Every structure is written in C-alpha cells, then in structure tokens.
Structure 1
C-alpha cells in the first residue's frame, strides 16, 4: 500500500491506534533520520495491523463511529505518526506526545540533509526548504524559487528539481502491511503479538491493559486522568498515569493488583476516579500544610499514596480527626525513609491495605515497624547520605519547614510563598564546596545532607563561598538562635575546615534528635487543637520553587552532556538521585544523573551516571540491569552513538 493511502486511511478512520498503545516517543533525531532513509530509498520495514469489528472496538482518540472493520496499528506507530505529522503539518487525532517533535523539518537543496529549523542557520537562506510545505503544496510551487537559485545553470536546476521530486515521491512509496485477523484473535492474543513485535520497547504493563479495558467503555477516562496529572504538574508535582490508576484501583477494590479493575464497572470507575483525584488534592494540601512537603522534589514515598487514598475513601474523603492524620503521616514519613514501597509494590501495598482494613492506622504502623526490625527511629548515621537524592533530604526540608527554621541573615522563619524577588528558598552548603574541594574532601563528603541548610536567595548570595569560621560568628552575633533553629552546631572549633567531618557528625546528632522528636510527636499527639481539614476543592497554590545546587561544577563535562541530551530530544534525568534495588527497594547508590525509564522514554533500560561508586555499589547496579557510566564523557559518547543510530534508521 502506498504511504499516501495509509495516511488517507487514518483520516477516514480505516486505520487507527488501539487504546493499549502507548504515546509517541520518537525524538527529533529519529524523525530526521527516518526522512533521510525515506529520501535515500532505504528499507523502513513494514507495518502490522489487527483487523477487527469497528462497532466493538475502542481506539485511541475515541470510538470509531461506523460499521465494518477497522485496522488497528500494532507495529509502526512511530513511523506512521511521523509520516502523518510531517506531511499534514499536524499530529494525527490519536497523538499523545510532544507536537514540536513533528514540526519544522527542513531540507537543504545543496547538502541533501534534513534538519529542524534553526533561525541562525536557515533564516533568509532559500536553500533550506520546509518539508511539510513541500509535501502539502507540491513541487510546482517551488519551481520559480528553484529557477532563481540555479541562476541559469540548467545542470544545477535539474539536480534541485530531482531532489525535490524524490521528497514528494515519498508519498508514492509502497509499504508492506501484514494483517492479523480471525475470530480467535482476542485482545489477550493481540497484546501478546504486540509485545513480541515490539520487543525493543517497553512491554505493556498490567496497568496499560486495565486502562485499555476501561477506555473501551469510557473513552474519556484517559483524557480525564491526564487533565488531573497536568494540574498537579502545574502545582509542582509530577506523577505518572500508572500511579494515578493504582490509586483509583486501591480506592475501588481495596487491593493493589490491576487485574481487580476488571471487576469494576464504568460508572463505579468514573465515581472512583473523581473521588481519588479529590483525595490526592486533599492529601497534597495536608502534606504541604502539616509537613511542609510542598513540591515534588521533597515528596518522598509516592508509592504510599494508594494506602492514604484508601484511608480517605473509608472516611468519606477526609481525615476523621487530627490524631488519625498525624499518625498516618508518621507512618508515611517512615515508609519512605525505609523504602517500604520501592520494591515489590503490589506485595507491600496488599500487606498495608490489609492492615488498614483490619486495624486502621495503628496496625499499619505496627506492620511497618515489624518489617523494619521492630523499631522506627532515625539515627545520626541515617543522615550520612549525600546529595539531594538521599531519602533524608526531604526529611531535612520537612524539619526546616515544620520547625520554622530561621533564615540566617534576616532571622525570618522560612516558609513557602515568601514575597520578594530574592526571597525564594535555596539550598546552601554550610561549608562551601570550593573550599572543601581545595582541602581534599571527597565529593560525597562535600555534598553530605548534613552540610545542607535552606536560606533565602538574598542570604545565599550574601554568604556566597565564605569560610564558616568567618560568617557563622557574625550570624551568632546578629541573629541569636538562628543557627540553633537550623541545627547547626554552635561550637566555634567545628566551624574550621579541618574539622569538617566532626562538624558533620555533630550536626547529624542534632538532626536525628529533631527528627525523632517531631515524628514521635506525630505518633503520640495530642493533635494540634487548631486542626482544620484541608480544602477538597483542589490545589490553591502554584508550584513552590526551591533552587538547588547542581553537580555541574563537581562533574567535568556534565553541563555539556545535559545540553546534548536536551538537543537530542531525550528525557531529562533526575539529578543527584537515589538508585534503588528494584526487587528490595534498598538504596544502592546516589547517581549524579539517572534516567529511570531510559534515555528515550519507554525505550531501553535505565541509565545511571555515577561518578563515585564502590565495587559493591557497582555490582548491585549491574545485577539490577542498570546501564552504568562513570564519567560524563563516557555517557556523552553513548548518547552520540544513539543519535547516530537514530539518524541512520
């Protein structure tokens, strides 16, 4: 079948995308490389469709409103979407992804290369032609311009016209289509076929299939969920669709397995989804107000949310009292500190849900305590982790917020929503990185959580890279109590660079005391008498921005690497992020940069840039199938190889 016919069949609804297909994941490099292959007449592979009854089929973008059969695309989504988007100048109706990936493709008549629009290179340069315009309007609209560029040279003009013709003839290219048909081809059989032919990508999860079944009867399910995810993202919290679906599943069934959703009818799902979205809004407000966890970087323990959503569902969407709320938050904080839900998700969730149903929050806490050796206490050594990726970084932020820690220069309690251009919160290294590095301390020691505190931007600029032995005495004189409010040791001998490790040990002691005091108060109560139920009407705030130090000046080549990753259209990494053992949830190492879903979302395995690792950490990451790099340059070469592969596709 000709490519032009395939695109026409998408417009008519004869070819569609099955609901279980994931979104568009190609990068601009892959789009450019694909068109280069088409231009050179390289093989681009065939397509695989599933012929099924239109009236009983739910497709991405809505049900097909006609009789007869429809061909659902099982293999070739990325190629077909690319062809449609570049040719039509807009994505197809079933598109889920970044539309910018498909816009602005240009072709150079002299070099015969495809690139995306770059003003500095292409503006006012007639040799760069818009591919979409050429495919939509045809060769004839460019003949006059080609004649002017050839400037009377018939050989050049002939070459230009031949090149443009090769592009327009892409639409006439024949592509082979295999079709899966037959009464025996049930959805389960087709999904098995899909997973086999898409062996290079991410397999469909149970959540994908559960959502596909729901969307078959209620097409608005996915858009409704995506709208909620967008709202939370605007408020500073980025969640995945599977995460929301897990919350809905638990609210409706009381169990973690997605297979349980097959027993839930559409009316119940619609009601449960709305209740779950309201509960997440309510919970985020409560966590921000009670614990100060007001943005995504400090929101640990997302895997615990289904349990908390279930509790709210049991109590008609609200906390019954302040004691229940505080004890639930006691459980929540300890659950993310000890990685309760980062391993075998369904197993841990089912244990917790059973405990919640059998004995409420108290039994929930007992189960967690038994799983952690019978004791829930924070020790000084727990604050020995390094960087913002440590689980104890959110705890430090939480303590700063709930105790009203003071800004070191102004003495004003640090809180969200502080007014003024220079009053946003920033992470500050008490001992400046440059001075510690010059003295010979390791990167892990420099970026220890116990070396962090939070300041306003104005104070951070004033302090800069001063020696603690110089600026801390001044703060002690000007703002009595400010150091103590941030659990900074007040003994002057600990402020000297040579005593840095002793300073860290002393501050870890202070932080552990503060953490246990607060967490014990959550558990033992009494709850504050001014307990007010958070609003259920949604998130009233905008995202809280906490500027955090990057690793750019610690890791040579990191800035250039991240720039190249961005230009390639690959996923943005988590910086200074904890890498865990997927089977146990135990922390393995702190990565400088971490791509949990691969450099290209949903394609390939997890990628880790870890500069300082022990042999044990290296072995653990390799055993967990992480692809590990130890320098930005090594990972940059890998990125370039991937880009080259995409360009030659």
Structure 2
C-alpha cells in the first residue's frame, strides 16, 4: 500500500492506534535519520495491524464513527506518526508526545541532508528547503526560487528538481502491511503479539493491560486520567499513568494487583476514578500545608499513596480528624525514609492495604514498626546519605518548612512562593563545593545532605563560594538565631575546612534530634477533633522547587555539556542526584548522578544509570535489574553516538 493511502486511511479512521499503545517517543535525530533513509530508498520495514470490528475497537484519540472493520496499528506507530506529521503539517488525532519532534525539518539542496531548522544556519538561505512546506505546496511553489538560485546553469536546476521530486515521491512508496485477524485474536493475544514485535521498546505493563480492558468499554478513561496528571504536573507534581491507576485499583478493590480491576464494571470505575483524583489532590494539599512537601522534587514515597487513598476512601474522601491525619503522615514519612515500597511493591502494598482495612492508621504504623524490627526513629548516621536523591533530603526540606527556618541573610522564615526577583529558594552548600574538592574531599562528602541548607537566591549570591569561617561569623552577629534555625553548629572551630567531617557529624546530631522531635509530635497528634480540611474543590497552587546548583564538571567531568547535548537532541530529561528505584528486593540504596528510569528515550529501551562508582553489591543489583550502567560521561557519550550511528545506518 502506498504511504499516501496509509495517511488517507488515518484521516478516514480506517487505520487507528489501539488504546494500549503508548505515546510518540522518537527524537528529532530519529526523525531526521528516518527521512534520510526514505530519501535514499533504504528499507524501512513493514507495518503490522490488527483487523477488528470497528464498533468494538478501542482507539486512541477517537475518530469518525465507522461500520465494518478498522485496522489497529500494532507495529509502526513511530514511523507512521513521523510520516503523517512531517507531510501533513500536523499530528494525527492519536498523537501523544513532543510536537517539536515533527516540526521544522529542512533539506539542503547541495548536501542532500536533512536537519531541523536552526536560524543561524538556515535563515535567508535558499539552499535549505522546508520539507513540510514542500509536501503541502508542491514543487511548483519552489520553481522560481530554484531557478534564481541556479542562475543560467540548467543542469543544476534539473539536479535540484530531481532531488526535491525524490522527496515528494516518498508518499508514492509502497509499504507492506501484515494483518492480524480472526475471532481468536482477543486483546490478551494481541497484546502478546505487540510485546513480541516491539521487543526493542518498553513492554506493556500489567497496568497497561488493565487500562486497555477498561478503555474497551469506556474510551474516555485514558483522556480523563491524562487530564488529572496534567493538572498535577502544572502544580509541580509529575506522576505516571500507572501510578494513578494503582491508586484507583486500591480504592476500588483494596488490593495491589491490577488483575482485580477485571471484575470492576465501568460505572464503578468512573466513580472510583473521580473519587481517587479528588483524594490525591486533597492529600497533596494536606502534605504541602502540614509538612511543607509542596512540589515533586521533595515528594518521596509516591508508592505509598494508594494506601493513603484507601484510608480516605473509608472516610468519605477526607481525614476524620487531625490526629488521623498526623499519624498517617508519621507513617508516610517513615515509609519513604526506610524504603517501605521499593523493590517488591505489590507485596508491601498488599500488607499495608490489609492493615488499613483491618485497623486504620494505627494498624499501619504497627505493621511498619514490625517490619523495621521495632525501630522507628532517625539516627544521626541516617543523614550520611549524599545528594538530593537521598531519602533524607526531603526530610531536611520538610524540617526547614515546618520549623520556619530562617534565611541566613535576612532572617525571614523560608517559605514557598516568596515574592521578589531574588527571593526564590535555592539549595546551598554550607561548605562550598569548589573548596571541598580543592582539599580532596570525595563527591559523597561534598554533596552530603548534612552540608545542605536552603536560602533565598539573593543570600546565596551574596555568600557565593566564601569559606564558612569567613561568612558564618557575620551571620551569627547580624541575624541572631538564623544558624540555629537551620541546625548549623555554632562552634566556630567546626567552620574550618580541616574540621569538615566533624562539622557534618555535629550537624547530623542536630538534624536527627529535630527529626525525632517533629515525628513524635505527629505520632502523638493533636486532640482528635473534627478537622477543617481543604475541600475536594481546592485548586492546587503551583509550587516552585528549590533550585539546585546546575550540573557541573565538578560532579563528573563533561557532565554539564553532555546533558545539554542530550536535551538538544530530544532525549528524556534525567533525574539528577536521584535514588535508583525498582531494584531487585534487598538491594542497597544507590544514588546516581543521573538516572533515566524510562530509558534515554522515554518508554524505549531499559533504564540508564550514570554513576561514578559502585560497590560490588550495587553493581550486581543494577545488572540483576537490567539497568544499563555507565561510570563516566565519555562512556555514556559513546553509547549515544552509537545509537545515532545505528539509526542513520
């Protein structure tokens, strides 16, 4: 079938995307390489479709109502979407992804190469031709400019026309389409086929399968969930669709396994989804107001939300009293500090959901205490973790918010949303990084959580890279109480660079004491009176995360430039200084310099970890969990270069 016919069938609804398919993930480099292959006449593979009844087909993005059959695209989504987007000048109705990957493709008449628009290189340069404009307007619109460009050289005019014709004739190219059809092709069978032919990508999860079954009867399920995810994202919280579905599952079934959703009727799911979305917004408001955890960067413990959503379900969607709220948050903090829901997620979730159903928040706390061997307290050594990926970084931020830690420059209590150009919160190294590296301290010591505090941007700029022994005495004199409010040891002997390790030990003692004091207050809770809590209609305000220092070559040589290059090429944004999640049960906690949990390309390939060094146990855990590990920027850069070479081949 010709490509032009395939594109027409997409418009008419004869070819569509099944709901279980994920979004568009190609980078601009892949789009460029794909069109280079088409131009050169290289093989680009065929497509695989599933022919099913149109009246029962569950398609992404909807479309014209049809009788008969519809072909659901199982293999070829990225190629079809690229062809449609570039040639039609718009994305297909089923599109979910980065629109920028499909706009601005240009062709150079001399070098016969494809590149995306770059003003410095292409502006007012007639040798660069807009590919989409060529498909939309045809060759005739370019003939005057081509003739003027070639002058009196007729052979050059002919060469230019031949090259442009070769592009427009891409739509005439025939592509083989293989169909999967038959009454025995159930959704489960088709998904198995999909996973086999998409072995290079991320396989469909249990959540995808559950959602596919739901969408078969209620096509608006996915759009409704995506709208909620988008609203939370605007407020500073980024969640995955699987995560929301697991919350819904917990609310409706009280179980962690997605298979339980198979017994849920559509009206019940619709009601449960609405209730769950309201409960999550309610929880986010409460966490921000009570604990100061007001943006995604400090919201650890996301896997615990299904348990909290289930508890709210038992109380009509809100806390019955302030004591229940505080005790639940006591459990929530301890659950993420000790990694309660990492590894075997469903096992721990089922235990906690059972505890909530049997005895509420008190049973939850007792279950966690037993799992911890009776220990639910923070010790100074627990703050030995390094980087903002440490589980104890959110605890430090929370303490700073709930205790009204003061800005070291102005003495003003720190809070989110401070007004003024230079009043945004920033993460500050009390002992500056450059100074510590100069004196031979390790990266883990430099980025120790106990070396962090929070300041306004103005104060951070004023302090800059000064030695603590130079700027801390001035703060102690000008802003009495500010150092104590941030748990910074006040002994001047500890402010010297040679006493840095002693400084960290002293601050860890202060932080542990403050943590246990606050957690005890949560456990004891206020008197159990009715709670005037936010309503479901409360609109989450957009919070601003404290700005970390930009990735620098001090952390890993060449890191800043590599991340800039990857961003420019359209690769996924990594989590920086992040705890590596979903390792095999019993694995040690590992904080990576950069972590791509969904792969360098979102939803394609396995997770990627960049970390300077690992212990033998850490390396074994990463390999057992199928993580691709790089120990240097150069190694990761070579891997990316090889990806480009494979795509261009």
Bucket of the pairwise TM-score, normalised by the shorter protein: over 0.9
Equivalent residue number for residue 51 of structure 1 = 51
Equivalent residue number for residue 342 of structure 1 = 342
Mean CA deviation greater in 395-404 or 406-415: 406-415
Mean CA deviation greater in 332-341 or 134-143: 134-143
Q: CA deviation at 1:17?
A: 0.9
Superposition pairs for residues 102-501 of structure 1, below 5 Å? 102-501=102-501
For the residues of structure 2 that align with 1:101 and 1:398, how far apart are their CA atoms? 39
Q: CA deviation at 1:532?
A: 3.1
For the residues of structure 2 that align with 1:432 and 1:612, how far apart are their CA atoms? 23
Q: Does 1:575 align with 2:572?
A: no
For the residues of structure 2 that align with 1:199 and 1:288, how far apart are their CA atoms? 41
Closer, same or farther in 2 for the Cα pair 1:565/1:242, shift >3 Å? same
Residues paired across the two proteins, number: 648
Instruction: Give the 3-state SS of the residue equivalent to 2:590 in structure 1.
Output: strand
Closer, same or farther in 2 for the Cα pair 1:585/1:10, shift >3 Å? farther
Instruction: Give the 3-state SS of the residue equivalent to 2:55 in structure 1.
Output: helix
Q: CA deviation at 1:540?
A: 4.0
Equivalent residue number for residue 20 of structure 2 = 20
Closer, same or farther in 2 for the Cα pair 1:525/1:542, shift >3 Å? same
For the residues of structure 2 that align with 1:644 and 1:130, how far apart are their CA atoms? 24
Q: CA deviation at 1:437?
A: 1.2
When the two structures are superposed, what TM-score results if normalisation uses the length of structure 2? 0.98
For the residues of structure 2 that align with 1:244 and 1:63, how far apart are their CA atoms? 26
Gaps of 5+ in 1: none
Gaps of 5+ in 2: none
Q: CA deviation at 1:527?
A: 4.8
Q: CA deviation at 1:64?
A: 5.3
Q: CA deviation at 1:622?
A: 2.4
Contact 1:217–1:266 at 8 Å: present in 2 too?
yes
Instruction: Give the 3-state SS of the residue equivalent to 1:62 in structure 2.
Output: coil
Q: CA deviation at 1:434?
A: 1.3
For the residues of structure 2 that align with 1:143 and 1:462, how far apart are their CA atoms? 60
For the residues of structure 1 that align with 2:527 and 2:145, how far apart are their CA atoms? 77
Equivalent residue number for residue 597 of structure 2 = 596
Equivalent residue number for residue 524 of structure 1 = 524
Instruction: Give the 3-state SS of the residue equivalent to 1:454 in structure 2.
Output: strand
Equivalent residue number for residue 564 of structure 1 = 565
Contact 2:297–2:545 at 8 Å: present in 1 too?
no
For the residues of structure 2 that align with 1:580 and 1:370, how far apart are their CA atoms? 23
When the two structures are superposed, what TM-score results if normalisation uses the length of structure 1? 0.98
Instruction: Give the 3-state SS of the residue equivalent to 2:129 in structure 1.
Output: strand
Equivalent residue number for residue 65 of structure 1 = 65
Closer, same or farther in 2 for the Cα pair 1:610/1:137, shift >3 Å? same
Contact 2:321–2:528 at 8 Å: present in 1 too?
no
Mean CA deviation greater in 576-585 or 191-200: 576-585
- After superposition, give the CA deviation of every residue in 1:450-497 in whole Å (9 maximum; x if it has no partner): 001111111111111111112112222222221111111111111111
For the residues of structure 2 that align with 1:9 and 1:409, how far apart are their CA atoms? 64
For the residues of structure 2 that align with 1:274 and 1:2, how far apart are their CA atoms? 44
For the residues of structure 1 that align with 2:596 and 2:153, how far apart are their CA atoms? 52
Contact 1:331–1:364 at 8 Å: present in 2 too?
yes
For the residues of structure 2 that align with 1:438 and 1:530, how far apart are their CA atoms? 56
- After superposition, give the CA deviation of every residue in 1:312-341 in whole Å (9 maximum; x if it has no partner): 111001100010000000000000011111
